[in-house]
Amino acid sequence: MRRKVSMNYDFKTIETKWQSYWEGRKLYKTEKDFAKQKYYILEMFPYPSGKLHMGHVRNYSIGDVVARFKRMKGYNVLHPMGWDAFGLPAENAAIKHNIPPAKWTMDNIKNMKKQLKQLGISYDWDREFATCNPDYYKWTQWLFLQLYKNGLAYKKKAPVNWCPSCATVLANEQVINGACERCDTSVEKKELSQWFFKITDYAERLLNDLEKLPGWPEKVKIMQKNWIGRSEGAEIVFKAEKTGDDIRVFTTRQDTVFGVTFMVLAPEHPLVMKLVKATDREKEIKDFVEEMKNKSELDRTSEDVEKIGKFTGQYAINPLNGDRIPILVGNYVLMEYGTGAVMGVPAHDQRDFEFAKKYNLPIKIVIQPVDRNKWYTLEDMEEAYTEKGILVNSGIFNGLTSEEALDKIAEHLEKNGIGRKTVTYRLRDWLISRQRYWGCPIPIIYCNECGAVAVPEEDLPVILPFDVEFNPRGVSPLLESEEFRKTTCPKCGREATRETDTMDTFICSSWYFLRFTSPFTTEEPFKKEDVDYWMNVDQYIGGVEHAILHLMYARFFTKVLYDQKLVSVEEPFENLLTQGMVLKDGAKMSKSKGNVVSPEDIVEKYGADTARMFILFASPPEKDLEWSDQGVEGAYRFLKRVWRLVNECRNTVKRGEENEGTELKGEDRKIKRLIHATIKKVADDIEQRFNFNTAISAIMELVNGLNTYVNTEANPAVVKEGIENLVLLLSPFVPHITEEMWQLLGKKGSVHEQKWPEYDPEALKRDEVTIVIQINGKVRDKMVVDVDVDEETLKAEALGRPKVKKYTEGKEIIKTITVPKKLINIVVK
RNA sequence: GCCGAAGUGGCGGAACUGGCAGACGCGCCGGACUCAAAAUCCGGUGGGCCUUAAAACCCGUGUGGGUUCGACUCCCACCUUCGGCACCA
């Protein structure tokens, strides 16, 4: 059966050959066929940094397996690729190398596209676009205008996060531990007039609809939930004693309101300076407020910063019990959250407790444990009692449980016009303007007469000019371009100026998945019929670093567009896979650590198929993957082994003998079972679990089995069945070598256009099974029996075995447990 | 501090529904081929005990307990690592 064939696995020739074949035949072009069942698979498109890294290779290899598999399963598959092409690195590189950002970006795209093709990823390249192209950003601007017209885009002056290194403002989501997400520089606060998207209007839906996403990792949903940070509580209006001003506080524990002994305002709170005006505290408070304003985010909010409070000399009146309480200004109260003012209940909040001890403020107990024996007094109180309990010292509310009081007090507040039930979110509005050049211009014109005016839709796109000096100076480089800036007001025709800030690039990536459904339509952002057919994305794949940023913004956009009836889905991504990182020596690959493995080198040395095979085999996709040169060697060896096996069997396969009705026996039967068990397992592993590592290991077992089998007096029909299926099963993982082997087997057409094989349930059937015999739960023996042996016979046979007798002799058999086709457990005493 | 995920051979990992722990691969050891080496192929490989060898036996999935005929899998407590959030009122 086995014949020596000397044919080397020449991956270079094979890979180039088939890549150009695919390109020439447009094998992966998605046809418009709405009758077919669709499958939209998408990997997060990359920023064109210049070269692919291993993380990209992993991301796109995973997606490609699924895309190829689904095609073979008969789906109409959309698998597109494009470029998230606006962004800071282009400007930084341009400054460094003196190349225009546009050119730098386009060169990078060209190179990365070449690399993706070399990896053999099956994209429909006819749908490719870059977000920096006016054909695309015209519609980004158009979408901005839709938000603007619906009151979801607004400009306001506010203290914002400023990254001095990037010379631009940042959204809250882009500040990590008080530092810039991109460059790790400590972020400063600046009072600037900026554009925002009103994502907070969607907070409730963004939160609730997480429940509609069973196909998302729990981890990501929890991160978004925490980020949105919904708290239910009440707003309570205290009156400033002297000025009569209302001071609204937000609390989640209105049941403790009778225990309020002080109040703390954020330094930025508008009432602070009014309260101390013309008092002896004015200077002290003013200095303190100034000091706080100048502190960086990090210095203000990190945990080890001491809590400081300054007494304003003023008092407020508790509307529920008339208590007169001191008003303080404190560094730890944030203007951006709630109302910027908090009530201090030291007996029932640990932070207030410590604060009260430090400044000698009174403590008043208003909640006691349900169990009267555990009641405490001020004397034995060493920390705040933060649990819920029974109300005391609370007037008409005494004796209620906290739960009852939360509602009752809220009702009372509402009835008396001194507060109301309310919900507060941690989520803030999305700051979208950037003082940088390489981004999508905001389509707004400022007119002295008419104010901010939207650029009329027919005037879009507002083109980003190329002849701009773009060194970052903290103001938009577009300010310098007179030609860009000067325009006329669309309303009154008078001289006017354009907005010179550009948009956060996360806006560009918040709708690109919609554009892929009809990428070149010129009359609208996407065609309704196409977007309705293709959306949602059935499977989205990308790094977990976008758990909040991109994934929440994209959900927000989709919901806005849904409300505008532009799309008919409320969520963009049905299933999400967050792939793990690629590590080397236990750490993320990075230039500074010098542990970078370049995909180019690996493809050059072993070929794309080996690179893909290793990456998919080494670890399940959601886990981190430790790079191993020896592992790559192993993947390469495996492919060579397959190559040799297929070559040695090609003539047997070509002869094409079929098994004419004779029933298979012995080894023939066994190998046939292995073939069909593998077909089943590989499909299950790809489809249901995304466990490519176990799918591949099953194929390896098939190869091992076939290798042994073809050395025996193998049945040619079984060999044929085995080899053909082997090539088909491998084709989503290693598309080039399987294409070549398919041809070697004398097949016509591309292996990637074949149907995914069906397993034959008959072949999986067994006549005999191995039963494990346990005594008291320990494996003591094994025996082979007929599949359909009944329980009594099985038990009798097991008890008759010498090894079993050894353990049961002179002992009482209490019971036996049998698991059909698997095991029998004999319990003895 | 809070939330989440994970701890299995020398290493990456497998065990899908509570039923043979360690599939598959790497590494290592032995053998074949070779003048020799590489490549390739064949065989072995959790630890202990015993040993000339084998059989047999014992231990073993982070630690300690529990449920169960039976636990990597379920429950309780703890330890470690990683990730997210972190004065959020």
- Over residues A124-171, the pLDDT tens digits come to 999 999 999 999 999 999 999 999 999 999 999 888 888 888 888 888
Looking at the predicted structure, is the pLDDT value of residue A2 above 50? no
How far is Cα A533 from Cα A37, in angstroms, rounded to an integer? 9
ipTM of the complex in this document: 0.94
Q: Which of A354-368, A543-557, A789-803 has the least mean pLDDT?
A: A789-803
CA of A59 to C1' of B29 (A): 38
Two structure tokens written together for A113: 């596209």
Name the nt closest to A769 by C-alpha to C1'. Answer: B20
Q: Looking at the C1' of nucleotide B24, which residue has the nearest alpha carbon?
A: A697
Contact yes or no for A605/A63 (Cβ under 8 A): no
Q: Looking at the C1' of nucleotide B71, which residue has the nearest alpha carbon?
A: A777
Contact yes or no for A300/A307 (Cβ under 8 A): no
CA of A759 to C1' of B45 (A): 35
Q: Looking at the C1' of nucleotide B57, which residue has the nearest alpha carbon?
A: A780
CA of A301 to C1' of B77 (A): 35
Q: What is the C-alpha radius of gyration for chain A, rounded to an integer number of angstroms?
A: 34
Q: Which of A334-338, A602-606, A740-744 has the least mean pLDDT?
A: A334-338
Name the nt closest to A780 by C-alpha to C1'. Answer: B20
CA of A730 to C1' of B39 (A): 25
pLDDT, position A192: 87
What digits encode the pLDDT tens for the residues A307-343? Answer: 889 999 999 999 999 999 999 999 889 888 999 999 9
pLDDT, position A190: 84
Name the nt closest to A641 by C-alpha to C1'. Answer: B40
The answer to whether the bond into A89 is cis (omega within 30° of 0) is no
Looking at the predicted structure, is the pLDDT value of residue A3 above 60? no
Q: Looking at the C1' of nucleotide B20, which residue has the nearest alpha carbon?
A: A772
What digits encode the pLDDT tens for the residues A107-127? Answer: 999 999 999 999 999 999 999
Interval A24-51 mean pLDDT: 95
CA of A157 to C1' of B78 (A): 51
Interval A744-760 mean pLDDT: 95
Name the nt closest to A625 by C-alpha to C1'. Answer: B12
CA of A684 to C1' of B1 (A): 43
Query: Integer distance in angstroms from the first to the last C-alpha of chain A?
Result: 56
CA of A707 to C1' of B42 (A): 12
Q: Which of A44-58, A250-264, A371-385, A445-459 has the least mean pLDDT?
A: A371-385
Helical (H) or strand (E) element with A65: helix A54-72
Helices (H), A180-228: 203-208, 218-228
Rounding to the nearest 10 degrees, give the CA dihedral for residues A235, A239, A245, A249: -20
Interval A634-647 mean pLDDT: 94
What digits encode the pLDDT tens for the residues A774-800? Answer: 888 888 888 888 888 888 888 888 888
Provide the strand spans (E) within A226-269.
Answer: 230-240, 246-251, 262-265
pLDDT, position A165: 86
Q: Which of A3-7, A138-142, A454-458, A683-687 has the least mean pLDDT?
A: A3-7
pLDDT, position A147: 97
Name the nt closest to A588 by C-alpha to C1'. Answer: B82
pLDDT, position A701: 95
Name the nt closest to A253 by C-alpha to C1'. Answer: B89
Helical (H) or strand (E) element with A826: strand A823-828
Which residues face A488 on adjacent strands?
A: A495
CA of A251 to C1' of B8 (A): 48
Interval A810-816 mean pLDDT: 83
Q: Which domains does chain A have, with CATH numbers?
A: 139-198+429-506 (3.40.50.620), 230-424 (3.90.740.10), 628-764 (1.10.730.10), 768-828 (3.10.20.590)
pLDDT, position A661: 65
Contact yes or no for A539/A577 (Cβ under 8 A): yes
User: Cα A170 from chain centroid?
Assistant: 20
What digits encode the pLDDT tens for the residues A698-729? Answer: 999 999 999 999 888 888 999 999 999 999 99
Interval A21-50 mean pLDDT: 95
Among A8-17, A77-86, A346-355, A686-695, top mean pLDDT goes to: A77-86
Name the nt closest to A772 by C-alpha to C1'. Answer: B20
Interval A513-527 mean pLDDT: 96
Chain B bases near protein CB atoms (7 A cut-off): 3-5, 11-16, 19-21, 23-27, 39-42, 57-58, 69-71, 83-89
The dihedral region occupied by A74, where left means phi > 0, alpha psi between -120 and 50, and beta the remainder, is left
CA of A824 to C1' of B56 (A): 22
CA of A769 to C1' of B47 (A): 31
| pLDDT > 70 fraction of chain A, expressed in percent and rounded | 98
Task: State chain A's mean pLDDT as an integer.
Answer: 91
A430-431, strands of its sheet edge to edge: A168-170, A153-163, A188-197, A430-431
Q: Which of A234-243, A274-283, A294-303, A530-539 has the least mean pLDDT?
A: A294-303
CA of A73 to C1' of B6 (A): 34
Name the nt closest to A428 by C-alpha to C1'. Answer: B88
pLDDT, position A347: 93
Q: How confident is the model at residue A175 (pLDDT cuts 50, 70, 90)?
A: confident
